[in-house]
């Protein structure tokens, strides 16, 4: 089936004011994220769940009826539906009687879930004829943007903190983008992008400062619902940086409800942050609606080292609406969780993904979740994109091997 999109308009996430769909937008006039709205009644009439078994589109593009991209502008790099992996060995170890599953996003193009948001946002840039994109990134977003843009010849400029995992920086560069290491954090990089807008003429594709990355990230919620046969889980643990994914998943569930594809039951949304950078957790605990800048942000989980988020109020709102909570874990707990899962389940998580396992363990021991919940953790990138401990074992083939050591 071929169609244009079902987008009706865009809406300011704070004021609800309406914006026309066929124009290039950044933030709303109030300086807040814009959300895309669809004609859900129309979708209900022409698309059924059945469509998903028939479509020839790949991965998250299977949901293009709930996306703003016209078919002819879709950029595809071989997206897949990411697997849900049961962590049964860990559950047993913890005497957990519920279901513990991880959605492994490391199998997407450029090995992270940033492919979802940037696949859609770069395709929209193509739709609007934008020729130059700029982004602040902790690594994965820059790589995803560079990849999708390379496919259609859009110029990319990338700014990342100088201590961003080296593999990401090299990956971005190989994908044809110009990448700069900045002696600061992601918000410092964001400032450079913002301030260069007029002089250079690039489009600022910072997360939630344009309306479409969240639409791509939303597909995590759509895909999860489909994989669970339209029965949502009890709890979702989400590693929260800019929070685009958490907000997007929550938006997806609302759209699915309006389509009548899922029932009333919604999961509790849990925002997971690192203790060295936990602005959302702090704000949520204090009962605030927005978060303050986190000073001296520091954690090995690069993707969630985000000291300030433009969508802070939307993250906190989703957490509260869902009766969820926000929780932080230490880097030490993150590393321990990563080692536990790799050695007992054979799945190597990224530190951000491991943070969700650490948060799960903590929540369980603090009684924040019940022992028979169905829980979903998000592993947002391949563990191979991060530096891993070296091995000390060396064997000299020219000397007799001491087989007693094995």
Q: Looking at beta carbons only, is 312 or 352 nearer to ligand PLP?
A: 352
> Which of 33, 216, 221, 245 is close enough to bind ligand PLP by CB under 6 A?
245
State the DSSP H helix or E strand holding residue 133, giving kind and residue range, or none if neither. strand 132-136
Q: Measured at CB, which residue is nearest to ligand PLP?
A: 303
Q: Give whole-number Cα distances, 258 to 46, 88, 178, 285, 384, in Å.
A: 14, 34, 42, 31, 39
Residue 173 CB, nearest approach to ligand PLP (Å)? 18
Binding string to ligand PLP for residues 338 to 377, with x set by CB under 6 A, is what? ------------x-x-------------------------
Build a one-symbol-per-residue string for 74-103: x at contacts with ligand PLP by CB under 6 A, - elsewhere: ------------------------------
**Stretch of residues binding ligand PLP (CB under 6 A), selected from 69-77, 82-90, 240-248, 251-259:** 240-248
Stretch near ligand PLP under the rule CB under 6 A, chosen from 47-55, 153-161, 218-226, 241-249: 241-249
- Cβ atoms of 205 and 226 closer than 8 Å: no
The distance in angstroms from the start CA to the end CA of the chain is: 60
Q: How far is the CB of 71 from ligand PLP (least distance, A)?
A: 26
Residue 302's closest CA among 247, 380, 368, 378? 380
Q: Which of 241, 279, 307, 383 binds ligand PLP (CB under 6 A)?
A: 241
For ligand PLP, the closer CB: 15 or 290 = 290
Shortest Å, Cβ 141 to ligand PLP: 6
140, exposed or middle or buried, with CB in 10 Å at 0-12, 13-18, 19+?
Answer: buried
- Which secondary-structure segment (H or E) carries 215? helix 213-227
Residue 157 sits in the site that holds ligand PLP (CB under 6 A): no
Q: Are 373 and 234 in contact (CB under 8 A)?
A: yes
Q: Which strands sit side by side in the sheet containing 155-161, from one edge to the other?
A: 178-182, 155-161, 132-136, 203-204
227: left (phi over 0), alpha (psi -120 to 50) or beta: alpha
Length of the chain, in residues: 406
In this structure, are residues 273 and 304 in contact, taking their beta carbons and an 8 Å threshold?
A: yes
Cβ proximity to ligand PLP: between 43 and 167 the closer is 167
Does 242 interact with ligand PLP (rule: CB under 6 A)?
yes
The single residue among 140, 164, 356, 363 that binds ligand PLP, judged by CB under 6 A, is 140
* Residue 41 Cβ vs ligand PLP, minimum distance, rounded to whole Å: 29
Q: Which has the closest alpha carbon to 5: 52, 38, 54, 50?
A: 38
Residue 405 CB-density burial (10 A; 0-12 exposed, 13-18 middle, 19+ buried): exposed
Nearer to ligand PLP, 40 or 380 (CB): 380
- Vertex 325 angle, CA 322 and 331, to 5°: 140
Instruction: Report the nearest approach of ligand PLP to the CB of residue 317 (Å).
Output: 15
Neighbours of 14 (CB within 10 A): 13
| Residues touching ligand PLP, count (CB under 6 A) | 19
Q: Select the residue interacting with ligand PLP from 233, 243, 267, 279 (CB under 6 A).
A: 243
Site for ligand PLP, residues 264 to 303, rule: CB under 6 A: 303
Q: Exactly one of 127, 187, 206, 207 binds ligand PLP (CB under 6 A); which one?
A: 207
Q: How far is it, in rounded angstroms, from Cα 241 to Cα 381?
A: 14
Q: What are the residues facing 180 on neighbouring strands?
A: 159
Is residue 112 a contact residue for ligand PLP (CB under 6 A)? yes
Q: How far is the CB of 225 from ligand PLP (least distance, A)?
A: 18
The residues binding ligand PLP (CB under 6 A) are: 112, 114, 140-141, 207, 217, 239-245, 303-304, 350, 352, 380-381
């Amino acid at each position: 089936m071929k169609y244009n999109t079902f987008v009706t308009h865009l809406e300011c996430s704070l004021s609800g004011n309406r914006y026309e769909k066929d124009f290039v937008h950044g933030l709303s006039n109030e300086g807040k994220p814009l959300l895309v709205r669809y004609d859900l009644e129309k979708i209900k009439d022409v698309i059924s769940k059945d469509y998903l078994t028939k479509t020839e589109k790949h991965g998250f593009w299977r949901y293009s009826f709930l996306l703003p991209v016209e078919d002819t502008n879709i950029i595809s790099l071989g997206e897949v539906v990411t697997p849900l992996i049961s962590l049964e060995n860990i559950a047993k170890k913890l005497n957990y009687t519920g279901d513990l599953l991880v959605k492994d996003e490391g199998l997407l193009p450029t090995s992270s879930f940033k492919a979802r948001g940037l696949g859609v946002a770069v395709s929209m840039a193509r739709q609007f004829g934008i020729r130059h994109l700029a982004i602040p990134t902790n690594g994965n977003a820059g790589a995803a943007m560079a990849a999708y843009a390379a496919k259609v010849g859009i110029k990319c400029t990338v700014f990342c903190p100088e201590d961003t995992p080296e593999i990401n920086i090299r990956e971005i560069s190989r994908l044809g983008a110009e990448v700069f290491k900045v002696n600061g954090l992601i918000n410092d990089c964001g400032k450079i992008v913002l301030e260069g807008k007029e002089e250079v003429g690039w489009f600022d594709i910072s997360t939630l400062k344009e309306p479409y990355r969240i639409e791509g990230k939303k597909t995590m919620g759509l895909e999860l619902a489909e994989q669970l046969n339209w029965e949502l889980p009890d709890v979702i643990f989400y590693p929260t940086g800019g929070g685009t994914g958490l907000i997007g998943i929550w938006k997806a569930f609302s759209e699915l409800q309006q389509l009548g594809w899922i029932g009333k039951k919604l999961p509790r949304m849990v925002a997971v942050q690192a203790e060295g950078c936990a602005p959302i957790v702090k704000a949520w605990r204090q009962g605030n609606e927005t978060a303050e800048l986190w000073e001296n942000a520091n954690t090995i989980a690069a993707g969630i080292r985000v000291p300030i988020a433009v969508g802070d109020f939307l993250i906190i709102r989703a957490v509260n609406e869902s009766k969820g909570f926000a929780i932080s874990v230490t880097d030490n707990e993150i590393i321990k969780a990563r080692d536990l899962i790799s050695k007992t389940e054979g799945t190597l998580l990224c530190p951000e993904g491991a943070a969700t396992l650490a948060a799960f363990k903590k929540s369980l021991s603090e009684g924040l979740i019940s022992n028979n919940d169905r829980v979903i953790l998000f592993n947002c990138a391949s563990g191979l994109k991060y530096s891993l401990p070296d091995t000390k074992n060396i064997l000299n083939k020219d000397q007799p091997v001491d087989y007693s050591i094995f």
